[in-house]
Structure 1
Amino acid sequence: MFKLIVSDIDGTLVGHDLQISPRVKAAIAAAQAKGVTVTLATGRGAEPTERFAAEVGITAPLVCLQGGQVFDPITKRTLYEARLAPEILPWIDRVATERGWHLHFETPRMVYLPEGVPSPEVLNDLFSVTATKRVSNFVAEVTEIPSKFLIAVHDPRERDEIMETLRELIGRAGLPVQLMVSHLQFVEGVPPGVHKASGLQWLITYLEIAPSEVLAIGDNDNDVTMLRWAQTGVAMGNASPAALAVADWVAPSVEEDGVAVAIEKFVLNGGD
């Protein structure tokens, strides 16, 4: 019997229009009415995650920033967080500036973007529900240690090249940061050991729930850890090859209300 349902947001709970469908809302409400806890696990920060959670009546702590933050939407408290090592910000700022990469930093409540540099369209969509601040000098103006950095590309074909270059540079510098992919146009850097499964492990310990009681639903490479970790990992029909490869079951796409179909199958209809 599942006691916890975890859903990713982008590409899973919502599509490009950022709208949660009536069927998905109804399925989440029905699961909660049965006493099942529902939460979200996402690369987004607390503020936008909280907005999506409120729309579907989720009150459980939320796993944000790729597992680097667990946030309680009721008390507005961060229960757990991991931050990048202080030396990462000036290092990646220099590396990105030298190569003309579009860099930004995220903290639990703010996204810092470069001033005077047009953002790729995908970032405008992503941050339409997020507090942002444009700065002229990251090192001088980002006054708190970031939770992660993100490099966005205009052309998805650039992503893998940047990933490879960064891996080499990080290895050469011996820096404590790990890279992950959450989108065709993103490369993200987070503290070592941080991923969605690590954030969820902290959460279930807090909630006194076992991994064998968790249903996880996601669509991208950054969901792989939680799909493997959960008792049942569900990949969306629109999922990346990496997510599909580790899934126990494949749901319809986000446009076909895949989250609702998964909840109906495994929770509301008893796995039938």
Structure 2
Amino acid sequence: MNPAQAEPPASNRSGSHLVGLDIDGTLLVTGKDPTPAVVAEFRAAQNAGHKLVLATGRSLVGALRAARLLEMTDGWIIASNGAVVARMTGAEAEVTEMHPVDAEAVVDYVSYVRPELCMATEIVGIGFHVWGSFPIRELNGHQISVSELSGLWANPTPRLAIYGPNAQSLVPSIRAGGMTAIRTRPDWVDVTPDKVSKATALEKLRRELGIPKEATVAIGDGENDIPMLRWANRGVAMGHAPDSVRSQAPYRTKSVFEDGAALILRGLARIRASAPITH
């Protein structure tokens, strides 16, 4: 299959598509706002009746900030790599699903084998409980320092972040313990519940909306995007994505620096759904 710009299938030219969209490295460059081209094509695809879903490793707080920059006022957000799902209406979002991770087990393990590492557990819609010092602006929302490790698991949490030198070395052991561990970079690992991903959340939403599998699209650039790129009928890897990601997607677009996601959204916007699905 030609790894070129993906076009939605001709067999579904009268219906809505369900589109899973990664945020960082896909809709925007991390730390920057989405470009006017991405915002315009995002709105055009929504106006055409397609169901655009922000599917991200970010916390809900961080995902909401991106949603507002994209001028998204109606739709769904899949945050924390699938562990949190929210329905957005207007400028607010209501959490409809949250899968807790066994934070106590992870914290106990990490504090025993790598006590120098920093850890944080997400407080959905607010921020994080934090043990140690994280880089400025790399955790979205309020940071609440805990004086005891037990404070990290005092409340149910969908995600635990581990930060420090070579934190990625813990990934195999954490996965062997029955968790999902994603290395976002050598010094950062996100831990979420087993068998929960962007793809599982998208599939549940697809079934609820009654959208056919052939009308699914996903765009992403990272390791945590691989499940949804495999899930989608049209999985599209960003042009700058590493080979390990691009090899899992049959289609490719330009890089985030060239507004690659906007090109795919533009193609969708040309296909107006004759009877948009509501939910």
TM-score bucket (shorter structure): 0.7 to 0.9
| Distance across 1 between alignment mates of 2:157 and 2:109 | 12
**Per the alignment, do residues 8 and 185 of structure 1 end up closer, same or farther by CA in structure 2, a change over 3 Å counting?**
farther
**How does the TM-score come out when normalised to structure 2?**
0.82
- Whether 1:38 aligns to 2:46 is no
| Residue in 1 that maps onto 2:9 | none
Deviations 1:91-146 (A, max 9, x none): 245336x44122221232221222xx432x4xx3432x423222222303642122
| Distance across 2 between alignment mates of 1:215 and 1:141 | 36
Higher share in strand: 2
| Residue in 2 that maps onto 1:146 | 157
Specify which structure has the bigger relative contact order, considering alpha-carbon pairs within 8 angstroms and separated by 6 or more residues. Answer: 2
Q: Which one of the candidate residues 123, 126, 137 is aligned to 2:148? A: 137
Q: Which one of the candidate residues 56, 72, 79 is aligned to 2:96? A: 79
| Distance across 2 between alignment mates of 1:19 and 1:86 | 32
Higher share in helix: 1
| Residue in 1 that maps onto 2:112 | 95
| Residue in 1 that maps onto 2:138 | 126
Unmatched 5+ stretches in structure 2: 1-11, 272-279
Amino acid at match of 1:5: V
Q: Which one of the candidate residues 54, 64, 79 is aligned to 1:50? A: 64
Q: Which one of the candidate residues 63, 70, 76 is aligned to 2:85? A: 70
How big is the alpha-carbon RMSD for the aligned residues of Structure 1 and Structure 2? 2.2
**Per the alignment, do residues 184 and 16 of structure 1 end up closer, same or farther by CA in structure 2, a change over 3 Å counting?**
farther
| Distance across 2 between alignment mates of 1:27 and 1:92 | 45
Identity value in percent: 24
| Distance across 1 between alignment mates of 2:133 and 2:151 | 21
Provide the aligned length of Structure 1 versus Structure 2: 253
**Per the alignment, do residues 204 and 42 of structure 1 end up closer, same or farther by CA in structure 2, a change over 3 Å counting?**
same
Write the mapping of 1:1-272 to structure 2, written as runs, cut at 5 A: 1=12, 3-58=17-72, 59-74=74-89, 76-85=93-102, 87-92=104-109, 94-95=111-112, 98-109=114-125, 110-114=127-131, 117-119=132-134, 121=135, 124-127=136-139, 129-140=140-151, 142-154=153-165, 158-164=166-172, 166-167=173-174, 171=176, 175-265=177-267, 267-269=268-270
| Distance across 2 between alignment mates of 1:231 and 1:251 | 15
**How does the TM-score come out when normalised to structure 1?**
0.84
Amino acid at match of 1:149: L
**Per the alignment, do residues 204 and 45 of structure 1 end up closer, same or farther by CA in structure 2, a change over 3 Å counting?**
same
